[in-house]
Chains A and B, each alone.
Chain A
């Protein structure tokens, strides 16, 4: 992994994804080709059903394309087995979900430590990391609360802590602000930008909210599984 690579971080080549629902076929992505570089801060924009989640799932190795090739950090996800994919996600990808998806029986700190725990990081090291992350994210003092005792914004910050704790190369966030009020959403985006700037973490997120979309450095628009535009902007 430490080798010098001439490849981009993420490459999607001619991805088509077809879901079968009973006898019907739903084409979720059509011939999508995309390249993401290190340090990207890109949004997949488009209305509901346009294929945003499907595209993120392809990059995260949560689902396999019907045809085409996905390369992330030199790994061909279509050829990797389940164990290899799980390992790939653990060491390369951080996920942030629309509905936070914290584990209800674990405290905020334990949730944030989860991937570090899977990586078998020693306990005191994990605690240290999580305490400093909580401080950075402005949720210090909430370490021992259960998710049900946290607000939506607090839960999403814990989810971010979980996603970045293990220093993944890529963070994938599927409509991370959809359940948050606009102020909280605003804060969250600033936070993501900050991480992107300070750590060079690559962000690929999805949204159908123009206020959110405007904040991305790169805007990729999808419609009915087709990419209709791919623009970069200076912020």
Chain B
């Protein structure tokens, strides 16, 4: 205990230097924690909107469909959505039919993607449908109502309420056409989607394509993205009686988004590494300065009968105390910063008025942090370790001096 007291007093011999060092370490911890939490929150919201507008946290396909997008590869859903929705953590299971088709008006024609959905269920999840008014929604699963991408609407030169024709290949190989009516307009902000997307009721899509009772995709939305590891095996269990059907998680179903996040996080980790490296160099410098100033005293302590190991231990103890204070202080600041970023957030609208697209997904322009407590603690502990590590060289240096040399220092 006396050693701790001695180390503590030594730490405050040069008050200003210690405070500056503490501030630098704490500030770095705050930066790293706050930025990580911000990314953590942003990635989560990106995954969330990507998942809600896309194929869910986990999706079920006919084997091979994901790679080929061959629309003949549909599978019978039967009661699968209801069964899966029983699994704890699952919010919804959304059946979908995807059909490449040709849309025609009296003036124009365009290649489109028809998506057959269950309109009421889909609206609960899909953020773009939530923005539509009741008058713009598809009324029934078998109605002729269509929700159509903004750009596609312009390209086809039609208006809401007007009719157009879609033609798609039937399961039997022949071409079938249906008359649809524009009910709502969707604007995702992504050019590709806004110029090719048409949503219709699932029964209407099944009638058009002959995939009665079948779907191409069953998109499963979870309460939180981090539940997928837990829920996945549960889903797999319920698929054993469904031959030729596979479940994939969002990272496989949306590789672009997953890769974009991985890449972004990797570059961030690199920056974190550099920040921590700079901190380490700063601590080495501080500890080395404080050791060099005390050479004479160390000579005396060794002369009195302390061993080099004990003396080195004292330096390491000083660093450990420094690291612990910095970790506490830095984490406190990190919590404050995270709290601000989580409640207020950063509104990007002021910087860039356009929609934000990342990895093929549009997301909210207000970036918000999310708490990753385990990671914050981990960083704090790392920094304590780094501080002690940084004191290793100064400690060895102090232990190496001979008492006589030390005492010759003035």
Write the residues of chain A forming the contact surface with B, with a CB cutoff of 8 angstroms: 57, 60, 62-63, 82-83, 86-91, 93, 95, 97, 101, 103-106, 114-115, 117-118, 162
Instruction: Report the nearest A residue to B13, measured CB to CB.
Output: A105
Residues of A within 8 A of B190 (CB): none
B303 touches A95 (CB 8 A): yes
B307 touches A95 (CB 8 A): no
Q: Which of A62, A91, A105 contacts B303 (CB 8 A)?
A: A62
CB of B308 within 8 Å of the partner chain: yes
Known A91-B305, A114-B304; further 17 A-B contacts with Cβ < 8 A: A60-B303, A62-B403, A83-B308, A83-B309, A86-B307, A89-B303, A89-B305, A93-B305, A97-B300, A104-B297, A105-B9, A105-B10, A105-B13, A114-B301, A115-B304, A118-B305, A162-B304
Instruction: Report the nearest B residue to A166, measured CB to CB.
Output: B305
User: Cα distance A87–B303 when bound, in Å?
Assistant: 10
Knowing A105-B6, A105-B9, A105-B10 touch, does A97 contact B407 (C-beta < 8 A)?
Answer: yes
Instruction: Report the nearest B residue to A83, measured CB to CB.
Output: B307
Instruction: Report the nearest B residue to A113, measured CB to CB.
Output: B2
Nearest-Cβ distance from residue B317 to partner chain A, whole angstroms? 14
Q: Which of B304, B308, B310, B402 contacts A95 (CB 8 A)?
A: B304
Residues of B within 8 A of A57 (CB): 404
A86 touches B300 (CB 8 A): no
Residues of B within 8 A of A105 (CB): 6, 9-10, 13
Nearest-Cβ distance from residue B9 to partner chain A, whole angstroms? 4
Residue interface mask B275-319, A partner, CB < 8 A = 1: 000000000000000000000110011111111111000000000
Q: Which of A62, A95, A101 contacts B296 (CB 8 A)?
A: A101
Knowing A86-B302, A90-B304, A97-B300 touch, does A63 contact B404 (C-beta < 8 A)?
Answer: yes
List CB contacts (< 8 Å) of B130-189 with chain A: none
Residues of A within 8 A of B309 (CB): 83
Question: Lowest 9 CB-CB distances: which A-B pairs, in order?
Answer: A90-B305, A105-B9, A89-B305, A101-B300, A86-B307, A62-B404, A62-B403, A63-B404, A86-B305
User: Cα distance A102–B18 when bound, in Å?
Assistant: 23
User: Cα distance A87–B10 when bound, in Å?
Assistant: 24
Residues of A within 8 A of B300 (CB): 95, 97, 101, 103
Write the residues of chain B forming the contact surface with A, with a CB cutoff of 8 angstroms: 2, 6, 9-10, 13, 296-297, 300-310, 402-404, 407
> Which of B6, B10, B297, B304 gathers most chain A CB within 10 Å?
B304
User: Cα distance A103–B305 when bound, in Å?
Assistant: 14
- Could you name 15 residue pairs across A and B whose Cβ atoms are closer than 8 Å? A60-B303, A62-B303, A62-B404, A86-B307, A89-B304, A90-B304, A90-B306, A93-B305, A95-B304, A101-B297, A101-B407, A105-B9, A105-B10, A105-B13, A118-B305
User: Cα distance A90–B310 when bound, in Å?
Assistant: 13
Knowing A105-B10, A106-B6, A117-B2 touch, does A87 contact B305 (C-beta < 8 A)?
Answer: yes
User: Cα distance A60–B306 when bound, in Å?
Assistant: 14
Residues of A within 8 A of B296 (CB): 101
B303 touches A82 (CB 8 A): no
Residues of A within 8 A of B307 (CB): 82-83, 86-87
User: Cα distance A162–B303 when bound, in Å?
Assistant: 12
Nearest-Cβ distance from residue A226 to partner chain B, whole angstroms? 21
Nearest-Cβ distance from residue A166 to partner chain B, whole angstroms? 9
Residues of B within 8 A of A103 (CB): 297, 300-301
User: Cα distance A235–B13 when bound, in Å?
Assistant: 47
User: Cα distance A103–B310 when bound, in Å?
Assistant: 16
Knowing A101-B296, A101-B407, A103-B300 touch, does A86 contact B402 (C-beta < 8 A)?
Answer: no
Residues of B within 8 A of A60 (CB): 303
Nearest-Cβ distance from residue A45 to partner chain B, whole angstroms? 21
